[in-house]
Structure 1
Amino acid sequence: MDVLQIIPTYIINLKDRKDRKKHIFKEFALKNEFNVKMIEPIKHGIGAISLWTTVKFILQDLVDDKDNYILICEDDHKFTHSYNMKFLFDNIKIAESLNADLLVGGVSSLTSLIQVSKNLYWVEKFSGLQFTIIFRKFFNHIFEADFDQTDAADYKMCSLTDHKFFIYPFISIQKDFGYSDATPKNNSKGCVKNLFKQSNEKVKLLKEVSSFYKKYKLEIGVTNDKSWDNIMIPTYVINLRADLKSHIQKQFEGRSEFDLMIIESCKHKIKTIELWLSIRKIIEMAIKNKDDVIIICDPTHEFTSHYTKRFLIQNIIEAHEQYADYLCGGINGFETALPIANSRFWINQILSTQFMIIYKKFFKRILNAPFHDDVISNLLLSELATNKMVIYPFISIQMRLGDSNQRFSNDKIMKTIERLEVIQKIYSIFGQ
């Protein structure tokens, strides 16, 4: 590392925010690796638009042509105890080698991540631009992007590139001033501090999840076995709607690997409880039948073109070897996903129940779980399970109902698939 290297640093500060100006000068005092310039933001009635316009102005009018990257800071940036000059420059160098567009010093929220080096993480989506290194090759993407009053600068930047990373442990957080110029929802004392605390805990959790599954990383797959020809998986379909009975029966026609049973749903004045009671009823039946693994479907399930008997059974066996509680055939959305095999993701919260593979070790946990009148089955299952997974590519989607009961559109399913494709691609390139 060239110890004489200096980072062009632009700090955005409103002149009347003297408390912030005093704070940010103190943060950069004696840190000679930064060439600091204070920038008055371009005024706009909407804070997010002001921030975006100011960032564009900095990149277009203030940056020297010879600078390969610059640092933009908001005036609430605060260095953590993890910061040191060598740590920063080492991670910048790694980020450059990975063709980075963005490198942030800390995030106040994030969705999915993939560890790419000891202290560098690829991130799918994040919030927090208080310490953001922008590489020159990304400048034009910012110049050309549309930005309106519904946008936020951090999420907009995320949407423009897949090459975005953060440093961990965080070297930057936001000082909690109790108000925010660009993000009105953070206008309360303690809010920002809690966001960074939660984000830090989430990174630690996802690191632990990733480490756990690396211990049980499987080879390319389970080879086909003649014994598979005789496999019949107990498959329980909850008959929530009589008009869909023929649809679900057609889905399983000619598929001898499923021992199909249509179960009348439990009746309750609250529809969400009907589903949970029906799931409990099926689990009690599975225990009585001494089933090791079962499938629970609702009548909106449809097989995709990716379904094959071999693909299903291979994933059931492999997921069992990875200590799965339950495995879904497809999902309609997610917050966080981690690739754990060639054809499976760990998901922090599974939002679908149309095709669930549930293992024996999870049965009693379901029956023993307390529930209340506003229970939502997919959320409660996610809360109860640590090892929850989805098969990918999906073997199941939820059919379009064509009426007011349609919970998810094809657009949402396609968005979910697109997100998983990106995460899978990044993992194949950078995954440790």
Structure 2
Amino acid sequence: MKKIFFFTSSPNESANDTESFRTNGFEVEATLQNQTNNLITCIQDTIKNNLNDDYVIICTSYHQFTPHFSMPYLNNCIENVQKLGGNLLLGGLLGFEKAMEVTDHIFWVDGFKGAQFIVIFKKAFALLLQSKNADQAPAELFLSQSLDDIFVMHPFISIYDDQDINSFENTTDFADIHENPEEILDELSQIKKYYSYEPK
């Protein structure tokens, strides 16, 4: 069973909120997140306790699985991003600044907002642990600025389960935040397929 680290800002999080992870084949380890134990601090503590792992999967209480989720699909995306030398693999997002499809179902992204399901690869562990003043920046801004080789899977396996798209951790603004990022990525994928087509 694959382990997932669930970060919640509410001490009253019910068992139902983590049941979807167990149903989908995850072993859940929950961590309470607050003013002194923010998202980046939780990530750093998780990495310290799992330094021998090839990656860690973290998730916030804003996450909701999409119908596209399956463990084989997740595993395949993880394997592909490992081959690409990735630092992060996002299960979904609300917005991005730049994106480019690098292989089937995998897009490179630069600058992201609203990621609540994140795979952090071993390559990034030391960088994240050595970062100074990490708690002074919103988590997604910190990750975007600290790491290269960030990827997102498409179609998404995670959507933002909240009507308010302004994440409690993120203050970064994107001009196209109200556009559907999955539709944008789908268009980019179709364009790539069109121009990559080689008639027999």
Say if 1:255 and 1:300 are closer, same or farther in 2 by CA, change over 3 A. same
Asked if residue 407 in structure 1 is aligned to residue 169 in structure 2, the reply is: no
Deviation at 1:367, TM superposition (A): 0.6
Deviation at 1:319, TM superposition (A): 0.8
Pick from 107, 123, 134 the counterpart of residue 361 of structure 1: 123
Say if 1:428 and 1:382 are closer, same or farther in 2 by CA, change over 3 A. same
Pick from 30, 37, 48 the counterpart of residue 262 of structure 1: 30
In 2, the alpha carbon distance for the partners of 1:265 and 1:314 equals 30
| Bigger radius of gyration among the two | 1
TM-score normalised by structure 1 residue count: 0.41
Deviations 1:26-66 (A, max 9, x none): xxxxxxxxxxxxxxxxxxxxxxxxxxxxxxxxxxxxxxxxx
Deviation at 1:237, TM superposition (A): 0.6
Pick from 154, 178, 191 the counterpart of residue 392 of structure 1: 154
State how 1:177-196 maps to structure 2 within 5 Å: none
State how 1:118-133 maps to structure 2 within 5 Å: none
* Matched letter for residue 148 of structure 2: T
Indicate the residue corresponding to 1:350 in structure 2: 112
> Is the contact between residue 296 and residue 355 of structure 1 (CA under 8 Å) also seen in structure 2?
yes
Pick from 131, 141, 148 the counterpart of residue 379 of structure 1: 141
Say if 1:393 and 1:413 are closer, same or farther in 2 by CA, change over 3 A. farther
Indicate the residue corresponding to 1:426 in structure 2: 191
Aligned positions, number: 189
In 1, the alpha carbon distance for the partners of 2:29 and 2:166 equals 25
Pick from 97, 102, 106 the counterpart of residue 335 of structure 1: 97
Say if 1:373 and 1:360 are closer, same or farther in 2 by CA, change over 3 A. closer
Indicate the residue corresponding to 1:251 in structure 2: 20
Indicate the residue corresponding to 2:77 in structure 1: 315
Give ranges in structure 2 of 5+ residues lacking alignment: 168-175
Say if 1:373 and 1:297 are closer, same or farther in 2 by CA, change over 3 A. closer
Larger RCO, structures 1/2 (Cα 8 Å, 6+ apart): 2
Give ranges in structure 1 of 5+ residues lacking alignment: 1-231
In 1, the alpha carbon distance for the partners of 2:131 and 2:92 equals 24
Indicate the residue corresponding to 1:298 in structure 2: 60
SS of residue in 2 equivalent to 1:336: strand
Indicate the residue corresponding to 2:49 in structure 1: 285
Deviation at 1:406, TM superposition (A): 4.8
In 2, the alpha carbon distance for the partners of 1:379 and 1:284 equals 21
Say if 1:259 and 1:248 are closer, same or farther in 2 by CA, change over 3 A. same
Deviation at 1:305, TM superposition (A): 0.6
> Is the contact between residue 10 and residue 32 of structure 2 (CA under 8 Å) also seen in structure 1?
no
State how 1:59-98 maps to structure 2 within 5 Å: none
Q: Once superposed, which parts of structure 1, at least 4 consecutive aligned residues long, lie more than 6 Å away?
A: none
* Matched letter for residue 47 of structure 2: I
Deviation at 1:413, TM superposition (A): 6.7
Say if 1:337 and 1:306 are closer, same or farther in 2 by CA, change over 3 A. same
* Matched letter for residue 184 of structure 2: R
Say if 1:372 and 1:343 are closer, same or farther in 2 by CA, change over 3 A. closer
Asked if residue 236 in structure 1 is aligned to residue 1 in structure 2, the reply is: no
Select the structure that is richer in strand: 2
Deviation at 1:239, TM superposition (A): 1.9
Deviation at 1:283, TM superposition (A): 1.3
TM-score normalised by structure 2 residue count: 0.85
Deviations 1:255-309 (A, max 9, x none): 22x22111122542xxxx712111111111112xx22111000011111011111
Deviation at 1:329, TM superposition (A): 0.2
Alignment RMSD (CA, Å): 2.2
